[in-house]
Structure 1
Amino acid sequence: MNDALCVGVCMIDWDSGVCLGCGRTAEEIEGVPAAPPLPAAPQPALLPPNVVALVGEGTE
């Protein structure tokens, strides 16, 4: 556990889920690793301009 961020005021704001003293979540304070961020949704491939001119954007 990294106590370097601790300022001695341990009070969890349950609306936001973070400590009012150090700004960490209860899981971070307890040393439970946070879940990795979810990958961004893949973006649809853009059609080349010559194909768009023939068939449109393809949103229909």
Structure 2
Amino acid sequence: MSDALCVGVCMIDWDSGVCLGCGRTPEEIDGVPVAPAPAQTPAKVPLPANVAAQVGEGAQ
């Protein structure tokens, strides 16, 4: 068994009985909380010049 945390690849290999992502059995995985992903603010991407000319630069 691996002590690795969940890597988001949950696929049980039913021949070996372990997850291909973390190496744990379904019994070991069951009930283990998954940490929430950190909130990220999307990067502001400037509008293309032709769009900005029509709608204004602040219209994202």
Task: Give the TM-score, by structure 2 length.
Answer: 0.44
**Greater share of helix:** 1
Q: Rg larger in 1 or in 2? A: 1
